[in-house]
Amino acid sequence: MLAACWMATAAGAQTSDSLSGWRAPPIDFSHAGYRGGGVPLPHAPATILVAPGPGDDTDRVMAAVRIVEGLPASEEGQRGVVQLDAGEFQIAGQIRLGVGGVVLRGAGSDGAGTRLIATGHDRRALIRIDTPTRETPGAADGRQVAGAVPVGSSRIPLATVEGLSVGDSIVVRRPSTAAWIASLGMDAFVGWRPEGRLNWTPGSRDIVWDRRIVAIDGAAVTLDAPLTMAIGAGEAVLSPGPSAIRLRETGVEHLRLISQSDPARPSDEDHSWFGIAIDSVEDSWVRDVAAEGFVSSVVDLGAASRRITVQDVSGSAPVSELGGLRRRVFYSAGQQTLFVRCRSRDGIHDFGLGHAAAGPNVLLDCLSEDANGDSGTLESWATGALFDSVKVRGGALNLTHRGRDGQGVGWSAANSVLWNCEATDVEVRNPPGAANAAIGCRGELTGDGALEDSRVVPGRDFHRAQPQTPASLYRAQLEARLGSAALAALAPSPAPAVPASTPKLSGAALAAYVESRRVAVESHPLKLVDGQFVIDGQPALQRPIGFSFFQAQMVPALAPAVGPALTRFAPGLEGIGLTDDLEQLANSLNTGDYVIHNYGLWYDRRRVDHDFYGSPMHRTGEVWGPFMELPWARSGEGRAWDGLSKYDLTRFNPWFFDRLSTFADLAEQRGIVLYHKLYMQHWLLESRAHYVDFPWRPVNALQATGMPDEVPASETFWDVSDPVRRDLHRLYIRHTLDALKGRSNVIYGLDPEYTGPLPFVQFWLDTIAEWERETGQSVQVALEVPKAGMDSILDDPVRSRTVDAIGFHHWVYRPDGALFAIEGGLNKAPRQQVDAIATADDLAGATDPGAVRRALWRSTPAMQYRAWREYRDRAPGVAIIGAEDGFPDLSRQIETALSAEYRATLRPASSLLRPTGTAWALSTPDGATLIFSMDGQPLVFDQAPGTTLTARWISEAGAVEQTETVAPGQTRLSPPAPIAGRPWAVLLRP
């Protein structure tokens, strides 16, 4: 029979991954599941009983969880069961199991059982099981695998087994090398900057197996489960210890989970995304759970999950957009995980295996109805996957090359099998050096891995698409390995009765838990003192922390290089470069650090390729993560260019603003600063691809914004003479202020690339001032706009009072003393203007024009001081962001000799002296001139004074007592000998 080869033992396994005849990889998949498969799920008696109460029940449930977590573990690692009574529990927070041996049990998953209702708009998992700190063991010395290991084998030859013992936990890592990636063709994607974005990079698709040694034979070890890839000599490393610190013997069972959403918004996503999220966990289970209404997964098993059974779980009535990373109802990126009799209705990717899932992973007797997408291996290079008697009605079931999807998923499966499955379409393809197979499957079959029954003959269809024997490969392998008794582990099991003697959660225990969570909150507020932002007397703006505003990766090995971003969302993944843990980020920073934030460019990473396309119908909603979340909310109505629904510009994204407000709270507690800029002009200029998905573009918004369909669009966007746009801007600005109200360590900015007109800057400041008057709140506002606009605002006696800080926004005094500044109101981005800093003379003979321009923008210490000094005097109470006093000794003497009020009247002047690379002049309304010379050399006037002037010299050592007069017609001015050759200033008065 065709199926016979699948019952082969590892001893008879082939020595490479290549498909030979009908022989596909002989992997024993029966090692998937709780305790390695074939072990019944435990049913311990209830330890503590919790009844629902009025209001939020999160603390009630968590108080009981903490009590059980504090109990001693049995020899098998079990502590006890938190028994939830029948009824409805309102959960505004999250139920989190962070200690092994704890089971969360309800009274049944039907309507008469226990219902957990996820309330609120947080995108959390309702139930989360993982270690509190995501610990990883210290690196251990590894040893090379000394010989070939066939696919499906559990015997590993080594040069020495010294230091290894039976029962040891070990890790086998098969690295993703450049040569291996090239052999798969995964280094040759086509697109915008494919390197590191689409192309696979070494180390990004390593396969890591956690195993235990069960035998040692000479210089070889035998493991407790097979490996799912063939390994050549020297191609992998075996190391002692596990790959992660994991919880054990945890369970969630006999519950109904409901994510509460807005019934008026059928695509609402402002609610719980995940029912149960599990990571850094092994030998655990989910049993008899029904879930409805969640955005993404009912059960999400992370990459560090292992030997987990998910049995008799259903997902239905998801509430979300039809788009990428939504409705991935049952998902595993782990190893030795088993899904049995799971059901899904109206999902998208109902049954999926994730990035580099090491396997074996099994889905058995699972059913998807009304599928809106395909199931199968969804990300790169899952190995050892078995879909056994899985039915996907309305969608496809695929083990294939997924191309550029998901930023370069490419080959998604190796050594994987569809066994007696059914789907609308079945696609199975074989990557170089590995095999996949569809056997006994029904559907539209394509690909070189779609195997036909050898009994089929031309013109005779009796055996075509007939189920193969055995009916279930997993069951047959399990029975062959452990005997028929092991099949009982797969049987459904009802919720046990709760003994009347079960202790109930007491009011005192609940109160003690609530009190234990009270912590003293530190406060290190931001203050503006004498033109400087300080926290606890220390400079507050010393080190800017920026972010990658348009690039990001879902691949965990690549994400950290992207760095943190406050409002980036990687569904199901937390960590640097993914969905950042804000508390960890804040704790990694120190006073003097300030985090710069604005909404990013493009929600969807597909657009990083700078595609435009001619119609929104050319795009499905299969958006690529991570998502750069935007402040405006989706409406659930219509179709935007990216395939999701249109934006409602009168509603705002609560997740976006929750993240900002949370980090603003942490900033005050930690003594750091959030510098939040409300806009991102990059969307509006240069490229139609920049603009195509912008929420205010007519095709993307419910409101009639009057925006153009093509770039340039900034002139229209910033034009608030249109009443619709004016009201939308005002609503957004005020909502931002409301969301961050009362948080002292926030500075508000306009836009990192603003080149819009002055009237919008005035409107922005007026809106903030209006809000301040109405609320009685005062906020810190930074003005970083083109120089002409900044000067106009600072000269405005009303609006200047709203400004607390300025920045030198794309302008500089060049090394020769000439001013270069970009202009506003031109419908041009900064980078469309900045190259003009270099003149033809500057570039004459230059071999590297870019280096010339960079040097001009860096300028010199003298010219940097000139800019800083000019605005320190002009607006003495205003902080200057990104610039420092390069000559503090001279500054101290200037500020001692001349009052702040007097210095505030100074403006650049060139009647006496044209600026040079070391000297410049400023004048006052009363006819005085203040001249600076940073090299201390004599000056030659460009225009001799017409009247007698009195000279007052100031140096780093102080004001010089000697005074002198400058006669009419005098053309040269020399400093007194004691200060010659050192930085000085001179005040010339009539």
pLDDT in tens, 554-597: 999 999 999 999 999 999 999 999 999 999 999 999 999 999 99
Q: What's the CA gap between 446 and 374, in Å, rounded?
A: 14
Q: So what's the pLDDT on residue 17? A: 38
Q: What's the CA gap between 898 and 891, in Å, rounded?
A: 10
Residue 307 has pLDDT above 60, yes or no: yes
Q: Where are the beta strands (DSSP E) in 739-779?
A: 746-749
Those residues whose C-beta lies under 8 Å from the C-beta of residue 826, and which sit 6 or more positions away, are 755, 833
Q: What's the CA gap between 112 and 257, in Å, rounded?
A: 13
The 8-class DSSP code of residue 442 comes to E
Q: What's the CA gap between 310 and 312, in Å, rounded?
A: 7
Q: What's the CA gap between 420 and 428, in Å, rounded?
A: 14
Does residue 804 lie within any of the structural domains?
Answer: no
Q: What's the CA gap between 378 and 353, in Å, rounded?
A: 6
**Residue type for position 905:** T
Q: So what's the pLDDT on residue 227? A: 98
Q: Exposed, middle or buried: residue 521 (CB in 10 Å: 0-12, 13-18, 19+)? A: exposed
Those residues whose C-beta lies under 8 Å from the C-beta of residue 219, and which sit 6 or more positions away, are 146, 157, 158, 159, 160, 161
Residues 149 and 183 in one domain: yes
Those residues whose C-beta lies under 8 Å from the C-beta of residue 857, and which sit 6 or more positions away, are 812, 834, 837
Which of 212, 240, 268 is where one domain is finished? 240
Which of 436, 462, 479 is where one domain is finished? 479
Which of 240, 273, 303 is where one domain is finished? 240
Q: So what's the pLDDT on residue 617? A: 58
Evaluate the CA torsion angle 456, 461, 464, 469 in order and state its sign.
negative
What are 915's two structure tokens? 């600026």
Does residue 196 lie within any of the structural domains?
Answer: yes
CA-based nearest residue to 587, from 645, 522, 535: 522
CA-based nearest residue to 681, from 564, 877, 831: 831
The 8-class DSSP code of residue 88 comes to E
CA-based nearest residue to 918, from 939, 903, 897, 898: 939
Residue 165 banded pLDDT, cuts 50, 70, 90: very high
Q: So what's the pLDDT on residue 911? A: 81
Residues 85 and 232 in one domain: no
Q: So what's the pLDDT on residue 24? A: 52
By the 8 A CB rule, do 210 and 169 touch? Answer: yes
pLDDT digits (tens, 9 = 90+) for 79-102: 999 999 999 999 999 999 999 999
By the 8 A CB rule, do 309 and 33 touch? Answer: yes
Q: What mean pLDDT comes out for the span 516-520?
A: 93
Q: What is the DSSP string of 334-385?
A: SEEEEEES-EEES-SS-EEE-TT--S-EEEES-EEES-SS-EEE-SS-EESE
- In Å, what is the CA distance from 523 to each residue of 57, 255, 672, 708? 30, 42, 11, 46
Residues 148 and 109 in one domain: no
Q: What's the CA gap between 583 and 662, in Å, rounded?
A: 9
Q: What mean pLDDT comes out for the span 393-421?
A: 97
Does residue 773 lie within any of the structural domains?
Answer: no
Count of other CB atoms within 10 angstroms of residue 734: 16
Residues 298 and 225 in one domain: no
Alpha-helical (H) ranges within 25-109 are 58-69
Identify the helix (H) or strand (E) that includes residue 867: helix 861-874
Identify the helix (H) or strand (E) that includes residue 933: strand 929-933
pLDDT digits (tens, 9 = 90+) for 140-158: 679 999 999 999 999 999 9
Residues 357 and 275 in one domain: yes
Residues 202 and 123 in one domain: no
What are 522's two structure tokens? 């530190």
- The CATH number given to whatever domain includes residue 95 is 2.160.20
Q: Where are the beta strands (DSSP E) in 412-486?
A: 413-414, 416-419, 422-428, 436-439, 442-446
3-state helix, strand and coil shares in percent for the chain, rounded to the nearest 5: 20, 30, 50
- Token look-up 């007698």 returns 948
- Rounded to the nearest angstrom, the gap between the alpha carbon of residue 36 and the centroid of all alpha carbons in its chain is 33
What are 961's two structure tokens? 């007592």
Residue 63 has pLDDT above 80, yes or no: yes
What are 257's two structure tokens? 């989970």
Does residue 688 lie within any of the structural domains?
Answer: no
Q: So what's the pLDDT on residue 914? A: 85
By the 8 A CB rule, do 646 and 635 touch? Answer: yes
CA-based nearest residue to 411, from 421, 400, 422, 424: 400
Q: What mean pLDDT comes out for the span 28-51?
A: 98
CA-based nearest residue to 390, from 436, 348, 340: 340
Phi and psi for 252 in degrees, rounded to 5? -130, 125
What are 546's two structure tokens? 């920026």
The 8-class DSSP code of residue 727 comes to H
- Rounded to the nearest angstrom, the gap between the alpha carbon of residue 882 and the centroid of all alpha carbons in its chain is 27
Residues 168 and 254 in one domain: no
Q: What's the CA gap between 584 and 672, in Å, rounded?
A: 13
Buried residues in 304-318 as b, exposed as e (16+ CB within 10 A): bbbbbbbbbbbbbeb
First to last CA, the chain: 110
Cα angle 221, 154, 244; round to 5: 80
pLDDT digits (tens, 9 = 90+) for 106-129: 999 998 999 999 999 999 999 999
By the 8 A CB rule, do 859 and 812 touch? Answer: yes
Q: What's the CA gap between 678 and 567, in Å, rounded?
A: 13
Q: So what's the pLDDT on residue 5? A: 46
User: Collapsing DSSP states into helix, strand and coil, what is residue 706?
Assistant: coil
Least-confidence region, from 162-171, 188-197, 636-645, 770-779: 188-197
Does residue 150 lie within any of the structural domains?
Answer: yes
**pTM of the shown model:** 0.95
Average pLDDT, the chain: 94
Indicate the pairing of strand 247-248 with strand 207-217.
unpaired
Indicate the pairing of strand 811-813 with strand 819-821.
antiparallel
Q: So what's the pLDDT on residue 711? A: 96
- The CATH number given to whatever domain includes residue 971 is 2.60.40
Residue 191 banded pLDDT, cuts 50, 70, 90: confident
Q: What is the DSSP string of 494-548?
A: PPPPPPTTPPBPPHHHHHHHHHHT--PPP---EEEETTEEEETTEES-SEEE---
Q: What's the CA gap between 737 and 735, in Å, rounded?
A: 5
What are 35's two structure tokens? 């305790």
Does residue 771 lie within any of the structural domains?
Answer: no
Residues 115 and 220 in one domain: no
Residues 290 and 437 in one domain: yes
By the 8 A CB rule, do 505 and 49 touch? Answer: yes
Does residue 348 lie within any of the structural domains?
Answer: yes
Residues 310 and 438 in one domain: yes
Q: What's the CA gap between 925 and 372, in Å, rounded?
A: 73
- In Å, what is the CA distance from 559 to each residue of 476, 553, 596? 41, 5, 19
- Token look-up 């407000």 returns 661
Q: What is the DSSP string of 276-314?
A: EEE-SEEEEEEEEEEEES-SS-SEEE-TT-EEEEEEEEE
Residue 4 has pLDDT above 70, yes or no: no
pLDDT digits (tens, 9 = 90+) for 668-724: 999 999 999 999 999 999 999 999 999 999 999 999 999 999 999 999 999 999 999
Q: So what's the pLDDT on residue 26? A: 87
**Strand pairing partners for 457?**
460
- Token look-up 């934006």 returns 647
Residues 215 and 259 in one domain: no
Those residues whose C-beta lies under 8 Å from the C-beta of residue 985, and which sit 6 or more positions away, are 890, 894, 930, 931, 932, 933, 953, 954, 955
The CB-side HSE value for 340 (13 A sphere, CA atoms) comes to 29
Does residue 497 lie within any of the structural domains?
Answer: no
By the 8 A CB rule, do 985 and 960 touch? Answer: no
Residues 286 and 409 in one domain: yes
Cα angle 717, 721, 722; round to 5: 70
**Strand pairing partners for 533?**
528
Indicate the pairing of strand 385-388 with strand 673-677.
unpaired
Q: So what's the pLDDT on residue 138? A: 60
Residue ranges making up the domain that contains 193? 143-240
Residue 934 has pLDDT above 70, yes or no: yes
**Number of domains the chain contains:** 3
